[in-house]
Amino acid sequence: KARQSHLFIVQYEAGWDEDHLRRLQLFADFKEALINEEICLHYQPKVGASDGSKIGAEALIRWMHPTFGFVNPEEFIAVIESAGQISLLTRWVIRAASMQAKQLWSQGHQLRMSVNLSALDLLEDDLPDFIRKILQELELPPEALCLEITESAIMQETERSLANLNRLHNLGLMLSIDDYGTGYSSLSQMKQLPVGELKIDKSFVMDLDSNEEDRQIVKSTIELGHTLGLKVTAEGVETELTRDWLIANGCDTLQGYFYSKPVPARDFHHWLEQYLQR
Ligand code: C2E
Ligand code: CA
Ligand code: CA
Ligand code: CA
């Protein structure tokens, strides 16, 4: 392709390394990838612990690049963030995930769809209004959406991001602290946030079966979450043993390969039908 040979000349002249070129190429291609559906969403169930009947979903972005193949979302999100274009991607994700939620709701599955935000999204004053309009357009109640924000993003909190979190909360959206345990947020910080869910990072959950230290950490995190009045979700639930331990220890919601990997919308529908008939 002409585009690629152009970049090759740039590399030759400036001596950039392969990695830098790859990032440039990803950035050059991403808008087109959104349009021609190389980028899509996959969905992973979030299962209620009590009787397993309350189901939600998390939307996770996927990019199948024509020359690079599958690109890890953390890699290209970092590229798009540093190019100052993340809000474009986030809005595409929110729209696509909301449309999927609408389809599920109209089939009688009133589930909550979770979407991941980047730290930079919280600096955008018009994000709350963008979401309000989408919900209105699709005739979806705010309970249909949840926004997941990483603990480290929340720690970069500014007056502006806190104001935006409050505005999102006031729309009636559920807010969730993602990757909990990987940052160092303080209790006083946690207390003032308008969040309803805490997600324990999968690094503490994946080895629960064999690791007593992780069990202690997860146990006290569940207690902490409940003390703060939050629902606690564990991600990275891979085994039946882990599931049973989490349920016995009061965890509210479970997510992980034990139930399903993130899958395309059609497969998620299929999983849901099967699961509800179990
Ligand atoms: P995350 O939000 O913490 O998402 C959970 C990650 O754990 C996903 O990786 C998921 O596939 C993986 N996972 C779920 N269950 C299990 C399990 O049982 N075992 C293991 N080993 N892994 C499990 P994925 O899809 O590669 O996404 C990586 C990260 O990329 C996400 O972490 C999130 O930070 C980011 N990301 C994905 N989609 C979006 C998006 O639309 N917007 C933004 N801003 N970030 C996104
Ligand atoms: Ca997440
Ligand atoms: Ca997470
Ligand atoms: Ca993560």
Look up the ipTM and state it: 0.98
Higher pLDDT, 149 or 184: 149
Closest C-alpha among 101, 22, 173, 115 to residue 30: 22
**Mean of all residue pLDDT scores within the chain:** 92
Residue of 94, 116, 176, 261 to test ligand 1 pocket, by largest number of atoms within 8 Å of CB: 116
pTM attached to this predicted model: 0.94
- 183: pLDDT strictly greater than 60: yes
Phi/psi zone of residue 183: left (φ > 0), alpha (ψ -120 to 50 degrees), beta?
beta
- pLDDT, tens only, 195-242: 999 999 999 999 999 999 999 999 999 999 999 999 999 999 999 999
Task: Give the per-residue pLDDT at 16.
Answer: 67
- Residues whose beta carbons lie less than 5 angstroms from ion ligand 4: 179
By alpha-carbon position, which residue is closest to atom 5 of ligand 1? Answer: 235
* Beta bridge mates, 176: 148, 197
The CA distances from residue 238 to 52, 58, 247, in Å, are: 16, 16, 14
- Ligand 1 centroid–CA 152 distance in Å is 15
- 6: pLDDT strictly greater than 60: no
Task: Give the per-residue pLDDT at 152.
Answer: 84
Out of 50-64, 142-156, 184-198, which region has the weakest mean confidence (pLDDT)?
184-198
Atom of ligand 1 nearest to the CA of 115: 41
Atom of ligand 1 nearest to the CA of 117: 44
Task: Give the per-residue pLDDT at 2.
Answer: 42
- Ligand 2 centroid–CA 178 distance in Å is 6
- pLDDT, tens only, 73-127: 999 999 999 999 999 999 999 999 999 999 999 999 999 999 999 999 999 999 9
Residues whose beta carbon lies within 6 Å of some atom of ligand 1: 44, 60-61, 73-74, 77, 93, 116-118, 148, 178-179, 202, 206, 235-238, 255-257, 262
- Ligand 1 centroid–CA 60 distance in Å is 6
- Number of the ligand closest to the Cα of 43: 1
